[in-house]
A and B are shown apart, each in its own frame.
Chain A
Amino acid sequence: MYVASTRRTKGSPTDGGIRPSRVPTTVVLLGTVSLLTDISSEMVTAFLPIYVIFNLQMSYLQLGLLDGIYTGATAVLRLVGGHISDKVHRHKAVAVAGYGLSAATKLIFPAVGASSVGLGGVLAVDRAGKGLRTAPRDALISLVTPKDKLGESFGVHRTMDTIGALLGPLATFALLTWLTTRPGPIFMISFCFAALGVIVLVFFVRQPRLERVPGKVVTLRATADLLRNKGMRRTTIAAGLLGLATISDAFVFVLLQQVSGVSPTWLALMPVGTALTFLLAATPLGKLADRAGRWRIFFAGHVALLGVYLLLLGPFTGIALVIVTVALHGLFYAATDGVLMAHGATLVPEHLRASGLSIVQTGQALARFASSVAVGLLLQNLAFGTSVLISISAMTIALVGVFLLIRPEVSR
């Protein structure tokens, strides 16, 4: 170890400054945890349709419905995870519980077999784990990062996370094609990736020391009082408002395939394109956000999303439309996902960090869930073109509302 690395700077309590341009080691380690966990969960996501239809011979329609409901319901668990980790001063322990819960479900899948209630239950536990771990993990990232590098840290984390999400389906494909289509090995390997993630978290990630300061108590009341902070309140409302105008990825891709007139095979490649752009752009845009203003980049990301919706009206068609739209869609994620957390982290005091971030996340997740149900109803009753026009109007209204709501004092 270098002598310099043992002297701690005020901004980064756990990491030394060997090279000032690097993000804290804890962030890279948490990125590794997310990468491994995402390989695990995306392996299962990629395998589930085949498992349900071919191994269990069940109806997938039912399961899709359950999954949607659980995702919406467990978004609220983020609040619980956030509050507990602030309360006990141990973000890492709560995150371990969340990651561990999801890892354990991979072993339960084969045991529940062909029961839609059982499978739905396992999926619910998996989502519950995700709900629990997200806020303490993001709080950890923000607590070990100096304020002027928050965007970059979250960018690096989201890049690593997305690399895992891309590797998962590849692992499943390789297993199914070259070794076996039996469910056992797929769930077992998925469990092992998740277990490796938990091991990295338990043994290599260190909980930053947080002093208990008298007067700075973590209570439900103090958490609720966060919303009396103007910046926090406006950020939550803005994220919710924009979330309400956000239509889900699946709709975007199905609409894009129809509008562009490309072969349905492209449907499988569109999410990959979005993820690739996201992983390439997340870190640079995070860095840019640190300099240009995080809120500005978050807002610009939603303008890019408005661009995506406008392109769905089909000003041109073919593969060119698919490439431009998918790239813009990936940029939207890169400019918003980690950047919102980086922005949120600057508004919440350290002792309430996880609670504060979980409020913003839950607001956004619930709004997006409500929006996908609403868009579903629209598409069921109206033509595609009309639904897209309504989405464009909703996004325009949300952008104008948010622009007026956010004053310069919270723009950084």
Chain B
Amino acid sequence: MKDWFVRNRIVVGVTAMVVVIALAVVYVVATVRDQQAAATQPGAAVASGLTFVDNGGGQNLVSTLDASGKRTPGSLKCLRVYTAAGTTVCLRMSLPGAYEAAVFVDGKEVRSVPLPGTPSRARVSASGKIVSWTVFVTGDSYLAPGGFSTRTGILDLRSGELVESLESFAMTIEGVPDKRVNENYWGVTVAEDDNAFYATLGSGNTTWLIKGDLKARTMATVRQSAECPSLSPDQTRVAYKKRGGRLGTWQLYVLDLASGKETEMPGSDGVDDQAAWLNNTTLAYAKVQQGGAPTIFESAADGSGQPRELVAAASSPGPVA
């Protein structure tokens, strides 16, 4: 009787294992089939076109939307992507737990830079010459065990020079040369002259919009409470996110550099993305809707009107170059 029970117990156990494995296989196969259908769903018409990462279709294929809303899946797989003047930067996984920034010029890979952490922001300057990114690094944030901090890299394709961390630049905080060790930089946007740039400095509980000079390797604060800046194509305005919306979530603002006037983007509450200028009047950004996947919206840069949904289950918006 006992022998029978022992044998039976093993049969039940093995059966349970087979059932669990079968369920997993069925679920994964169903999901993969479903995502193949999602990859070709049309999006909204975008006047000047849109490049994005397809999160719904799976595998993060870089896809485009044209002026008629037609969606074309590409072959490149990235976690973050940005394209300008024929240069594409693609932040992607290279090994389990390891990431790289792959740089493509006219479709050909010209450089790949190993990244020290999980990618979060990617940009290419308007000329296509300067590529930048931000990653989260584990172990760098000292107070929380397992906490994260950020590292920002800038690659100059003309000279091949690579800045692995902005921490090596000289920093001036509100007029005072800075000596602090624990600083985080993120979200770079480079100006038309391929030398000036804007970024975010976070230290303690404060964030600043900073303006830097790549040749002089210097940076100085511009104003407080601004993150992930993005410079407009006409170089007159900077879009950034700022805490202060409902429950201290982020909200997008556009700052007029000449007048210092800040305009709120309605309906952008809860955004956590570096906005991208599709042209001088339109901003695109990704935002997660409650319980869902990120969705890409466009918004009038003058703050008029509500955001318009462009593509569901997609992130990393940028203009088509």
Verify that A and B bind, or say they do not.
yes
With A195-B20, A269-B98 as known contacts, state yes or no: A49 contacts B145, CB within 8 Å.
no
| Chain A, 235-274, CB within 8 A of any chain B CB | 248-251, 253-254, 257, 263-265, 267-269, 271-272
Is B74 in contact with chain A by the CB < 8 A criterion?
no
Q: Is the interface of A mostly helix, strand, loop or mixed?
A: helix
Contacts A182-B35, A184-B31 given; indicate if A263 touches B146 (C-beta within 8 A): no
Contact yes or no, A185 B27, CB < 8 A: yes
Bound-state Cα–Cα, A111 to B168, Å: 42
On whether A54 and B79 interact (CB within 8 A), knowing A188-B24, A200-B13, the answer reads: yes
Residue in B closest to A48 when the chains form the complex, CB atoms? B118
A379 touches B142 (CB 8 A): yes
Check B288–A114 contact: CB distance below 8 A. yes
Pairwise interchain contact B287-A254, C-beta atoms closer than 8 A: no
Question: Of the candidates B20, B93, B141, B164, which one forms a contact with A61 in the assembled complex, judged by CB atoms under 8 Å apart?
Answer: B141
Residue A316 is within 8 A (CB to CB) of chain B in the complex = no
Kindly state the separation between the CA atoms of A204 and B261 in the bound complex, as whole angstroms: 69
Chain A: CB-nearest residue to B118: A49
The yes or no answer to A202 lying at the interface (CB within 8 A) is yes
Q: Which residue of A lies closest to B114 (CB)?
A: A265
Question: What 0/1 readout, one digit per residue, does chain A (50-64) give for beta carbons within 8 Å of chain B?
Answer: 100111111111001
Q: Does B110 contact A (CB under 8 A)?
A: no
B96 and A199 contacting across the interface, CB-CB below 8 Å: no
Q: Among B53-61, B82-90, B231-239, which stretch is in contact with chain A?
A: B53-61
The majority secondary structure among interface residues of chain B is mixed
Given contacts A176-B93, A265-B114, is CB(A254)–CB(B21) below 8 Å?
Answer: no
Contact present for B273 and A199 (CB under 8 Å): no
1/0 contact string of B275-290 vs chain A (CB within 8 Å): 0000000000011101
Q: Is B137 an interface residue (CB 8 A)?
A: yes
A23 within 8 A of B: no
One of A57, A60, A372 near B294 (C-beta < 8 A):
A57
Query: How many A residues, CB 8 Å from partner?
Result: 69
Contact with A along B98-120 (1 / 0, CB 8 A): 10100000000000001111111
A135-143, A165-173, A401-409: which lies at the B interface?
Answer: A165-173
Interface contact A192-B24, CB-CB below 8 Å? yes
Q: Is the CB of A181 within 8 A of B24?
A: no
Partner of A53, one of B27, B96, B120: B120
| B143 close to chain A: CB less than 8 A | yes
- Cβ–Cβ contact B114 & A172, under 8 A: no
For residues 152 through 176 of chain A, which have their beta carbon under 8 Å from a beta carbon of chain B?
A: 169-170, 172-173, 176
Query: Total contacts A to B, CB within 8 angstroms?
Result: 193
For residue B140, which residues in chain A have a CB less than 8 angstroms away from its CB?
A: 254
Q: Contact check, B96 vs A46: say whether CB atoms are below 8 A apart.
A: yes
Would you give the shortest CB distance from B48 to chain A, in whole angstroms? 24
CA A54 to CA B77, docked complex, whole Å: 14
Closest to A111 in B: B291
Q: Tell me which residues across on chain B come within 8 A of A4, comparing CB atoms.
A: none
The verdict on A2 contacting chain B, using a C-beta distance below 8 Å, is: no
Structural contact, B142 and A192, CB atoms closer than 8 A:
no
The complex places the Cα of A383 from the Cα of B290 at a distance, in Å, of 43
Residues of A within 8 A of B80 (CB): 54
Give the most central of A71, A173, A264, A265: most B CB within 10 Å: A264
Given contacts A54-B79, A203-B9, are A185 and B31 in contact (CB under 8 A)?
A: yes
The answer to whether the Cβ of B292 comes within 8 Å of any Cβ in the partner chain is yes
Contact A180 B32, CB 8 Å, known A54-B315, A55-B293, A268-B97: yes
B176 within 8 A of partner (CB): no
Please name all residues of chain B whose beta carbon is closer than 8 Å to the beta carbon of A372 when the two chains form the complex. Answer: 145
In the assembly, what is the distance between CA of A272 and CA of B20, in Å? 29
Q: Does B181 contact A (CB under 8 A)?
A: yes
Chain B residues whose CB sits within 8 angstroms of the CB of A192 once the complex forms: 20-21, 23-24
Contact assessment for A68 and B144 in the assembled complex, using a CB-CB cutoff below 8 Å: yes
Smallest beta-carbon distance A287→chain B, Å: 30
A-B contact pairs, 15 of them (CB 8 A): A46-B97, A55-B293, A60-B118, A61-B141, A64-B141, A71-B145, A179-B59, A180-B28, A188-B28, A195-B20, A199-B16, A251-B139, A265-B100, A376-B143, A380-B142
Name A's B-contacting residues (CB within 8 A).
Answer: 46, 49-50, 53-61, 64-65, 67-69, 71-72, 113-114, 169-170, 172-173, 176-177, 179-182, 184-185, 188-189, 192, 195-196, 199-200, 202-204, 248-251, 253-254, 257, 263-265, 267-269, 271-272, 369, 372-373, 375-381, 383
B interface vs A, CB < 8 Å? 9-10, 12-13, 16-17, 20-21, 23-24, 27-28, 31-32, 35, 55-56, 58-60, 77, 79-80, 93-98, 100, 114-120, 136-149, 164, 181-182, 271-273, 286-288, 290-294, 315
